[in-house]
Amino acid sequence: MLRKTFLILAVLCAAILIGCSKTETTDNSNTAAGNSNRTASTGPAGDKIGIPECDDFIAKYDACISDKVPEAARAQFKTAVQQWRSSWRQAAATPQGKAGLTAACKQAAEQARTSMKAYNCTF
């Protein structure tokens, strides 16, 4: 129940951040071939959000799920990390989004501290 609540909260947070961000045009140079070295857990340095609190939280959360969450449950957590990374990077592209990300990432970290205790994860 706690995991479902956390996942729902994470998705809502991502949706809010996406909704508050300005639409940007995309560059098609980021093709599947160009992303062939990406993995669900880490990815290249370009995957950083640019907000220390967000980058730190995602790194710690990702390490926790990679090391301590059973393989059967890991996919849903990896999906949450990918959604956070994508929506937070998009929000960081605007001054308004960037301004709210520090608090949003701190809040996500606090919630994760509680929800991930079940897996003996510490942040």
Q: Is 4 helix (H, G, I), strand (E, B) or coil?
A: helix
pLDDT tens-digit series, residues 18-61? 334 333 333 333 333 333 333 333 444 457 999 999 999 999 99
**pTM for the predicted model, two decimal places:** 0.63
pLDDT tens-digit series, residues 60-113? 999 999 999 999 999 999 999 999 999 999 999 999 999 999 999 999 999 999
The pLDDT score that the predictor gives to residue 122 is: 84
**Cα–Cα distance measured from residue 50 to residue 89, given in angstroms and rounded to the nearest whole number:** 8
**Residue type (1 letter), 24:** E
**Cα–Cα distance measured from residue 56 to residue 22, given in angstroms and rounded to the nearest whole number:** 24
The pLDDT score that the predictor gives to residue 18 is: 38
Residue ranges covered by each domain of the chain? 47-123
